[in-house]
Structures are given as C-alpha cells and as structure tokens.
Amino acid sequence: MANQNLITLEQDERIEAAAARLSMDRREFLQFCAALATTLGLPQGADAAVAEAVATKKRPSVIWLHFQECTGCTESILRAEHPTLEKLILDVISLDYHETLFAAAGHQVEAARKTAMAENKGKYILVVEGAIPTKDGGVYCKIGGKTAIELLKECAADAAAVIAIGSCASWGGMPSTIPSIPGATSSPTGSSGVDKVLGKPVVTIPGCPPNPYNFLSTVVHFLTFGKLPEVDDKGRPKFAYSRLIHENCERRAHFDAGRFAMEFGDEGHRKGHCLYKLGCKGPETYANCSVIMFGDAGAGTWPVACGHPCIGCTEQGVGFAKPIHTVAKLKNIEPSAFLPRIVEEKGVGASLGSAAVLAAIAGAAAGGGAMVAKNLGLSHKAEALEEAKKREEAKKSGEKTEV
C-alpha cells in the first residue's frame, strides 16, 4: 500500500514546481523519489522526506575534482536517464566546479572553484574522481600549478562531505597496479586512494565506472537528512555494496545446478549458463550491479547478463589485481562437491591389461547375476508349490484359507 504522506504531497504546489523543473509530471516525480528511497533502503515514510527535500531544500554545492583517471565516472553520469545529467546538475545539485563539463578554462575555472568554496564553506560536497599520485611529491599530476595532493587537501579542508567516486579514487584502481617487473613495489606514480592521502575515512563509491544512481542516491541522502548514508568498513554505502553480486545474479540458478559455460561461445555460454568457470568474480564482489543494471539501455544491461564475467572492479585486491579468468574465491557460498572440475579430463582408451581385468570382472559379475536369477526362480517356484499344497489341504478340510 502506498505511503499516505507521499500521496498527500501530490497536491502540494512545491512538488508541482519541482516536477516541472525536472520535466516530469507530479506522479513521475513522486515515483522517482520513492525509487530513490527504496534504493537507499530507507523505512516507510522516507520517500515523502526525499520528495520534500528535493523540492524545497537548497541544492548542495558540488565541487568535482579530476586526477588520475579515464573520465569514465563522469561519462557514466552523463548517461544517466532518471534524471538526465542536465536535470541532475541544475535541479538536484549545483555543480559549481567540474573541469570536464566546464565551458570555461584556465583562470576562470579556478576562480569559479574558489568562489564556490568561499560561498559554501562547510556546506559543499567534494567529489573526487581518479587516483592521487604520491611519488616524488605528487609531480605526476598538476592542475593550475598545484599538485593533486595540494588541491585535494585544500578543497577537503572546508567540505561538509568527501565522496570518492570510482575505483581509482576509492583505493587506487588501475593506476595503482604494480607492474610485473623485477624489484617493482608500487605503481610508477605511487597512486593512492583519497582516504590514504587525507588520512581519514571518506565515502567511497567504487566501480569502473560506478553506477550513476549509487552516486545520486548518496547525494540525495545527504540532501534529505543532512548526513551521508551508512557505510561499510571500506567506506562504501551499505545500500549499494552490502550484498554479493552473485546472490542476485540471473545466472545463479545455473551455478546451483552445476551448469557452467566452459569457454566463450560453447553451448553453455550460448544458453546463458553460469560464468563462474570463466572467471566471474561475482561470488566475491559486493555491489548492486545485478539488481539495478547499468546504463538505462533496457533489461540485461550489465556485464554478466551480456555474457562477460564480472571482473570485480568494486573490490580492492580483486579488480585489476586478479587475472580476469582466474576463478573467484567463494564467499558465503558452499558449492556442491559433485560439480564438474574447471578442466575435465578426457579418456584416452583402455590398455590391453586393464581391458582383460575389466572383462574378467564383467564375466564374474555376469555369472553371479545368472546364479542369482536362477536361485530367485527356484525360490519363486518352491513358494508357488507350497501355496498350492495349502489350498489343497484346505479344500479337503473344508476350511477357508486366505491366499
């Protein structure tokens, strides 16, 4: 049953105005807020609080920094559909600094950042995309004459909240991988996650790229309640990263039944069988990819549904660390001991000696079977004769005998 508070808001003029700003009708706007509340795992009645917050509260100022990354996180946000990016940055948040999306450049951009920080001191949200190089004083990434380390610390000092978006900002991601060369102990630039550079926990939204709705839901939670959502020991919002991908995967039934794709393009792969033996990291990766899909392109829009194993991009030590086709370490799952092995051995034929032994065993078994059948036949015949004898005796004595 729908929440009564949310229904009553449908006639609120503020809701109508907010819906108009987002190019939605009132019902669509309320459904959007209810969906956000559900995604966040909020209790009944919170959907109305979300709707009122989006409709009435001042949009939070967001300063978005770019460091060592491929801009995939921003590209993911660009492709969000509910709402689209222009609605998100104009009507839900106030994106006051973003190097990729700015039309301006140079001194104008830096002036906009400093103005936003000064006018929203202690209230803005700092979003960091990309890893921070720390080797050699951080000289491998500079913006406006400042290293990534200096710029991050400057912007984080007066931020109300810091969000590391993407695996690179969350824990180093791809830039932090150690090259396979003798003596290498770190990445070439000493890339690190935001929390390590700041020396304090931050909210992390890992993924390569992460789902844009995990970011949007986190910001809306902050807008609604004045605080960030509950996180796990790695700083990830629990509403998005508390369950294994494997738990809600549409291929899970095949895993439980022992039906696996053994190589790309084989019969199992074409039939949609489990990709575990092709290296799917879903059984050791915490994320909601299998629940909310990805990219607003319709059903089945996430890697596993499209036929490729999960690479574990939201997990440090899995994504970009384990080879893609290395079998996952199972968490909270006990597979059947009778499931086929990763590489099934093929028969090479019997030797002459083993064939002779097998023939002897088969002969003995056949002989034993014949004797058992014969004995069973004799036993049945003797039992029939005994029954006939009883009937004859009963007939003579005039007694009824139950046969």
Record the pTM: 0.74
pLDDT at residue 396, as a whole number? 72
How do residues 313-328 score in pLDDT, each as one tens digit?
999 999 999 998 899 9
Find residue 231's DSSP bridge partners: 237
Residue 149 lies in a domain: yes
Whichever domain contains 127, its CATH number is 3.40.50.700
In degrees, rounded to 5, the angle at the alpha carbon of residue 212 between the alpha carbons of residues 279 and 315 is 35
Amino acid identity of residue 26, one-letter, is R
- The two tokens of residue 311 are 């690479």
Whether residues 106 and 209 share a domain: the answer is: yes
Whether residues 106 and 134 share a domain: the answer is: yes
How do residues 72-106 score in pLDDT, each as one tens digit?
999 888 877 766 666 666 667 788 898 888 877 88
The number of distinct structural domains making up the chain is 2
Last-in-domain residue among 303, 329, 344 = 344
Lowest mean pLDDT among 32-41, 79-88, 349-358: 349-358
Mean pLDDT across the chain = 81
Alpha helices in 131-260 (DSSP H): 148-156, 167-171, 194-198, 212-225, 238-241, 252-257
- Residue 12 or residue 244, greater confidence: 244
Whether residues 257 and 335 share a domain: the answer is: yes
* Mean pLDDT score, 239-256: 92
Longest dimension (CA), the chain: 125
Task: Quote the domain boundaries for residue 95.
Answer: 57-239
Amino acid identity of residue 204, one-letter, is T
Residue 113 lies in a domain: yes
- Residue 27 or residue 10, greater confidence: 27
Residue 169 lies in a domain: yes
- Residue 88 or residue 228, greater confidence: 228
Burial track 19-56 (b if 16+ CB lie within 10 A, e otherwise)? bebbebebeebbbbbbbbbebbebeeebbbbbbbbbbe
Last-in-domain residue among 344, 364, 381 = 344
Whichever domain contains 273, its CATH number is 4.10.480.10
- Residue 208 or residue 350, greater confidence: 208
Share of residues in the chain with pLDDT > 70 (%): 78
* Mean pLDDT score, 167-190: 89
Q: Are 26 and 19 in contact (CB under 8 A)?
A: yes
Phi, psi of 286 (to 5 degrees): -95, 120
Last-in-domain residue among 185, 213, 239 = 239
- Neighbour tally for 71: CB within 10 Å: 15
* Mean pLDDT score, 270-290: 94
Lowest mean pLDDT among 27-31, 158-162, 248-252, 284-288: 27-31
